[in-house]
Amino acid sequence: MEAIFSGLWALADPMLLFLIVLATLGGILVGALPGLNATNGVALLLPFTITMEPISAIAVLTTIYCAATFAGAVTAILINTPGTSASATTCLDGYPLAQRGEAGRALGMAAVSSTIGGIISVLCLMAAAPLLAGAAYKFAPPEYFALTVFGLSMLASIGEESSIKSIMSGAFGVLLATVGIDLLTTVERFTFGINELTEGIGFVPVMIGVFGIAELLAQAGQLGIFRERITLRAIQLPSKADYKKTWKAILRSSGIGTFIGILPAEGATIASMIGYNEAKRWSKTPEEFGKGSIEGIAGSEAANNSATGGAMVPTLALGIPGSPTAAVILAGLMVHGLRPGPTMFTEQSTFVFAIFWSMLLVNVLFFFIGLYGARIFARATLIPLTILWPMVFLFSIVGAYALDQSMIDVWIALIFGVIGYLMRRYGFSVVSLAIGLILGGMLEKRLGQSMVMLDEQWWLIATRPLSLFFLVLTVLALAGPALLKKIKKFKS
């Protein structure tokens, strides 16, 4: 209880509040710009937080996460291009509404449902994360190993093309994590005599490469695409009739989004798809979906924003990222010398609750900033690509360099930019690579500790109830989608 108030008190710092307001504006701008999203926005801005105190740094990153997720709706509604992939389903009804001259109404509903979804999820985060952390105290290395394997197995469902490719990308990330000196034995691995590689491949340059520079190359391939932009006159709060029609969808999607967010690796994009589909399934007027349904916007936006709070639950309580952006935030926590996990809730409880409160604050902030600033942010979509992407490259390269003031990080960012572009082109998920890289070190360390603990009889991992539980979940996560498909096929 004391930590809750000390966390709130930590937020009373005027400088921190100023940074949160600034990050909210930055996050909304990032989310509104097509091509940039919460994940690459957080990755690009991470180096700016190096000199900050950990509370300020992580509060800024989580603020950008929440604000950018909301702002994806602006471009989704006005130019039929989701600012973030999590807003893809918002396009389906937002743009038809905007074409009918109701862009303000659509944006108003997006702001309200995002705020409600975000607040509900942060409240769940405040309740669930300490409970989960408390339960995680019972975990020994074999349980942590099995949990990390489960976290990685969830990567199977996040790729666009195939589960195998997603797992391969994750495994490649885990392999990259083995570069450098093995901490258990001090043996050098894959360093090829390069001194700078002895400490391993840094998370931040890789993230900047695969999310920032790879996106630049992807944008280079989409030059000349014309986007029709709808003029926004004024944003409009939902009417009583709109509230009456959508409140169930908002609450349902908030629950769905929070739950999906808690699952390792699953983020706002999947949450918004399920939230939208459920809103349609339960709607009295499903035929309106895809043609400008206000329920569709509510279902999609409440779900994607509620996934942000949910995703922070496993990230902070277990050190397993709940979404792609949470993976970058996890890297940020590590850069600042913080070790996410159950001990964080006892040793750094003020820090943890300050982050919770800042996330709650940003959900209120972006409601007002979104409502009154939507017209200005909508203009951000007019920034020419010929200014935006050279600027992204500039910040990517300087950001990669600034962390350790080392040119090797610049080369790593460039190399992984090209690798990331090729991976995306051939259907391999760069998100899986990033999560694999973050979890790889932990996976190997826990495996080594488990082997020592179990006297090198690795199969005994499966004889411990909690480990067995996570391993069963792993099998279900890997085989479940294929099995369900077969059952459906058999039934039909």
Partner 1 sequence: MTVQSKDSDTSSLNTSRWLIPGLIILFCIVAFYFTTQFDRVPEILKRGIQPSDFPQLILLLLTALACLLPFENIQYNRPAIPPSVFISLTLMIIFVLLTHLDFFIALGCFGGLLSFSWGERRLGTLFLVTLLLPTFVFFLFDLVFEVRFPRGLLTNLWYG
Residue 184 interacting with partner 1 (CB under 8 A): yes
Q: Which is nearer to partner 1, 186 or 337 (CB)?
A: 186
Residue 418 interacting with partner 1 (CB under 8 A): yes
Q: How far is the CB of 223 from partner 1 (least distance, A)?
A: 5
Say if CB 14 and CB 21 are below 8 A apart: no
Record the tokens describing residue 432, joined without a space: 């899986």
Say if CB 280 and CB 89 are below 8 A apart: no
Residue from 187, 284, 489, 491 touching partner 1 (CB under 8 A): that is 187
Polymer length of the chain: 492
Interface size with partner 1, residues (CB under 8 A): 59
Q: Find the binding residues for partner 1 in span 132-161 (CB under 8 A).
A: 161
Residue 221 interacting with partner 1 (CB under 8 A): yes
Q: State the Cα–Cα distance between residues 45 and 208, nearest whole angstrom.
A: 9
Q: Which is nearer to partner 1, 194 or 398 (CB)?
A: 398
Residue 407 interacting with partner 1 (CB under 8 A): yes
Q: How far is the CB of 175 from partner 1 (least distance, A)?
A: 5
Half-sphere exposure of 394 toward its Cβ, with a 13 Å CA cutoff? 6
Say if CB 235 and CB 111 are below 8 A apart: yes
Residue from 20, 201, 271, 402 touching partner 1 (CB under 8 A): that is 402
Q: Find the binding residues for partner 1 in span 22-51 (CB under 8 A).
A: 48, 50-51
Residue 82 interacting with partner 1 (CB under 8 A): no
Q: Which is nearer to partner 1, 305 or 396 (CB)?
A: 396
* Run of H or E residues at 235: none
Cα angle 418, 422, 425 (rounded to 5 degrees) comes to 140
Residue 410 interacting with partner 1 (CB under 8 A): yes
Long-range contacts of residues 401-408, Cβ cutoff 8 Å, at least 24 apart: 402/47, 402/50, 403/47, 403/50, 403/202, 403/204, 403/205, 403/335, 404/202, 406/196, 408/194, 408/196, 408/197
Report in angstroms the alpha-carbon separations of 156 from 23, 48, 304, 430. Answer: 32, 32, 20, 13
Binding mask 240-279 for partner 1 (x = CB under 8 A): ----------------------------------------
Which residues contribute to the site for partner 1 (CB under 8 A)?
48, 50-51, 161-162, 164-165, 167-168, 171-172, 174-175, 178, 182, 184-185, 187-190, 216-217, 220-221, 223, 384-387, 389-391, 393-395, 397-398, 401-402, 405, 407, 410-411, 414, 417-418, 421, 425-427, 444, 447-452, 456
